[in-house]
Amino acid sequence: MGYELNFGALLEYQDVLLSGLWMTVKLTVVSTLLGIMLGILGAAARRHRNPFLRHGSKAYVELIRNTPFIVQLFFIFFGLPAIGIKMTEVEAGILALVINLGAYLTEIIRAGIDNTPKGQIEAARTLGLSSRQIFIRIILPPAFQRVYSSVVSQCIIVMLGSAVVSQISVQELTFAANFIQSRNFLSFESYLVAALLYLLLAFLMRLIFNLIGSRAFSREEKQS
């Protein structure tokens, strides 16, 4: 137990850390927004009349939820070039994150949709709304609200999971910590600082989501 902490040595690498942090924020924002869209589309496909869409969505969810994220990532980055699809490491990282988040959100949002009282849909039909209108106006908003906290948690999990894309040389926060650790061998300090930054990001994300949630859903409440 004679370890002397040396956080001062990290100062010379603060640019690396900050640019890593910024990259993690960018990855998270883009993949969260696209992932939520993909999740909604996936959930919509799950209850679509067309059996191809219905089964396709189910297959997608099962495939992604039952394979490791790092394998999906390596397949996209190292595997796809073999058939001519080549992406930069950031594109491949975002694509993997979006596909992953989309699958989990499809399942979460579907659960919310399944709990829609039948009467509401029947009432909407009687009023002559089209299927699309029913999904967008009657089913989705309350369903999304019901599962909102799970959606938020899943988005935070994806933010934390973005650490894995450091493996394909995306220079995000974990990459920065790895890099610093490989230069000054201060593992304790590097990873502790990275962990605290992730913690901070997670708190901020929850705060922002809660703000958005309370605004969006209080308006819903007022309307109803």
Partner 1 sequence: MKILKKMSLAVAGSLLLTFGAISTASADKLDDITEAGVLKVAVPQDFPPFGSVGPDLQPQGYDIDMAGYLAQELGVKLELVPVTSANRIPYLQTQKVDLVISSLGKNPEREKAIDFTKPYAPFFLGVFGLNEVEVTSPEELADKTVGVTRGAVEDIELSKLVSDDVTIKRFEDNNTTLSAFLSGQVDLIATGNLVVTEIANRSPSRVPETKFLLKNSPCYVGVMKGETRLADKVNELIGKAYADGVLESLSQKWLKAPYPADLASM
Binding site for partner 1 (CB under 8 A): 74, 77-79, 81-82, 86, 89, 167-169, 175, 178-179, 181-183
Closest by CA position to 58, among listed 72, 42, 69, 71: 42
CB of 160 to partner 1, least distance (A): 18
In the complex, what is the shortest distance from the CB of residue 189 to partner 1, in angstroms, rounded to a whole number?
16
Q: Decide whether 78 or 188 has the Cβ nearer to partner 1.
A: 78
Nearer to partner 1 by Cβ, of 61 and 176: the residue is 176
Task: Give the amino acid at 5.
Answer: L
Nearer of residues 76 and 143 to partner 1, judged by Cβ: 76
Give Cα 160 distance to the centre of its chain: 9
| Three-state secondary-structure class, residue 109 | helix
Q: Are 205 and 129 in contact (CB under 8 A)?
A: no
Q: How far is the CB of 125 from partner 1 (least distance, A)?
A: 52
d(CA 224, CA 221): 5
Task: Give the nearest distance from C-beta 55 to partner 1 in angstroms.
Answer: 32
What would the two tokens of residue 152 be? 């938020």
User: Which lies closer to partner 1 via its Cβ, residue 153 or residue 184?
Assistant: 184
- The span from the CA of 195 to the CA of 207, in Å, is 18
Long-range own/partner contacts, residues 129-138 (CB < 8 A, 24 or more apart): 131/49, 135/44, 135/47
Shortest distance in whole angstroms from residue 78 CB to partner 1: 5
Query: Which CB sits closer to partner 1, 70 or 202?
Result: 70
